[in-house]
Structure 1
Amino acid sequence: MRIKQRVRAKICGLTRVEDVHSAVDAGVDAVGFVFYPPSPRAVTASQAQSLAQYVPAYVQIVGLFVNATLEEVQTVLQSVALDVIQFHGDESPTECQRIANRVGRRWYKAIQVKADLDVVAEIEKYHQVGASAVLLDAWHPELKGGTGQAFDWTKFPKLDIPVILAGGLSPENVADAIKMTKPYAVDVSGGVESAKGIKDQQRILQFMQGVQRGSTQCEAK
């Protein structure tokens, strides 16, 4: 039987103190820091350390890594008290498990949904080796997340495993997206920005209101 509960929400790609405040004030469950230098939303360990001090208890800090080595993850953890690791590259189930076990953190894997991908089989590969959740994002030939594009939401599976919806979400569509997919959580970055890496306080608030509406609609069914 699938877990029935309110839909959680994470705002990813935070780079400024005021954006951390906006996300926390709006009621997010988690904030995400991107440790992937090519990303316009990337932060250094030092920058993330400064931002993390404004994240209160009961709001989780997620670190996003793309094909990072164990040493690179360990270096970040020396400065930033990450609660969860998000592997967002081409990491295999074994590699995710190995790194997470070495650093003693829970983790989940982001999977880019291609047209021919067996989504359920791919999710199960990571879940079987300890993933706390799996995130489904839009596929892009070059970019690793933050594309602003959505995949075909009809491919979103109904599983007992916590599955996170990402890709192309915004204040305008998140309630409908939740109603259609009934995810464990939603994850947004570009959809609440005024510019790449710069969050918009009003859009964050509107997004969280949309999450609440979508959750209420799911509970009513």
Structure 2
Amino acid sequence: MLRVQSKICGLSTPETLDAAVAGGASHVGLVFYPPSPRHLNFDKASGLAARTPERVGRVGVFVDPHDDLLESAIASARLHALQMHKVEKDRAAAIRARFRLPLWVAVPVRTRADLDQAHRWRGLAERVIYDAKTPPGGLPGGMGLRFDWKLLDGFPHPAPWVLSGGLGPDNVAEAVRTTGASMVDVSSGVESAPGVKDVDKIARFLQAVAAL
């Protein structure tokens, strides 16, 4: 199996960002969404970006963002890609055309039919992220929920894809073996409290992935 890539999402401190880099994360996720406990202001995002080696991709995470937010986030964090939640296809296309950065689009999954939404992003999203569908009123990600990984059996993916939702150090190996994922994305699964990343959990998660 080719090396599995890992994205540690929702980082907010120098120590936890350093742990992600040291552990071999291929990408780090920086959240720009005020309702989230992982939300960053632009000054903090700039500081984290400055600590991140260029070999590690910086992905900005957004929920149906305005252009002003995108512009400031891209400039402060020197983002390599834009991860979109709850965005319409026309809006996503406009964002890609204006900012000329790769789009990663989250597809919330509870049933096999939910997976079909991924096909809408063919030719537009560089990566599709399969994440667990959250309850009404909940945050669109980072809730520690997982979906039935077997739903992905035989699914014709429209783009390179990422497995997310409810992953952690103790189940990521099983998740990869079950789904064949070549990239995994974790947030709450490496936290000690909502929005508080744990350096030991980050290290254990990345060790589990590296051992695959």
For Structure 1 versus Structure 2, the TM-score category normalised by the shorter chain is over 0.9
Runs of 5+ unmatched residues, structure 1: 215-221
8 Å Cα contact 2:110-2:148 kept in structure 1: no
Deviation at 1:33, TM superposition (A): 0.5
8 Å Cα contact 1:85-1:105 kept in structure 2: yes
Q: Distance in 2 between matches of 1:136 and 1:16?
A: 26
SS in 2 for 1:79: helix
Q: Distance in 1 between matches of 2:207 and 2:72?
A: 36
Deviation at 1:95, TM superposition (A): 1.3
Q: Distance in 2 between matches of 1:15 and 1:103?
A: 24
Q: Distance in 2 between matches of 1:106 and 1:163?
A: 13
SS in 1 for 2:51: coil
Residue 164 (structure 1) aligned to one of 145, 159, 162: 162
Runs of 5+ unmatched residues, structure 2: none
Does residue 132 of the first structure (1) align with residue 130 of the second (2)?
no
SS in 2 for 1:53: helix
Residue 82 (structure 2) aligned to one of 82, 85, 91: 85
1:78 to 1:161, Cα distance in 2 relative to 1, 3 A: closer
Partner of 2:9: 12
Q: Distance in 2 between matches of 1:75 and 1:204?
A: 28
Report the AA paired with residue 186 of structure 1: V
Cα-to-partner distance string for 1:11-38 (whole Å, 9 max, x where unaligned): 0000101011000000000000000000
Partner of 1:218: none
Does residue 147 of the first structure (1) align with residue 147 of the second (2)?
no
8 Å Cα contact 2:190-2:201 kept in structure 1: yes
Residue 117 (structure 2) aligned to one of 111, 119, 122: 122
SS in 2 for 1:177: helix
SS in 1 for 2:76: coil
Q: Distance in 2 between matches of 1:198 and 1:103?
A: 30
Residue 211 (structure 1) aligned to one of 206, 209, 212: 209
8 Å Cα contact 1:10-1:188 kept in structure 2: yes
Deviation at 1:118, TM superposition (A): 4.0
For 1:14-163, list aligned pairs within 5 A. 14-88=11-85, 90-115=86-111, 117-119=113-115, 121-128=116-123, 130-140=124-134, 141=136, 142-156=138-152, 157=155, 159=157, 161-163=159-161
Report the AA paired with residue 143 of structure 1: L
1:43 to 1:154, Cα distance in 2 relative to 1, 3 A: same
SS in 2 for 1:49: helix
Give the count of matched residue pairs.
Answer: 208
Deviation at 1:116, TM superposition (A): 6.0
Q: CA RMSD in A?
A: 1.5
Deviation at 1:97, TM superposition (A): 1.7
1:39 to 1:118, Cα distance in 2 relative to 1, 3 A: closer
Deviation at 1:57, TM superposition (A): 1.5
8 Å Cα contact 1:127-1:134 kept in structure 2: no
Deviation at 1:158, TM superposition (A): 5.3
Cα-to-partner distance string for 1:86-112 (whole Å, 9 max, x where unaligned): 002x21222112102201111110011
1:160 to 1:98, Cα distance in 2 relative to 1, 3 A: closer
8 Å Cα contact 1:163-1:183 kept in structure 2: yes
Q: Distance in 2 between matches of 1:138 and 1:18?
A: 28
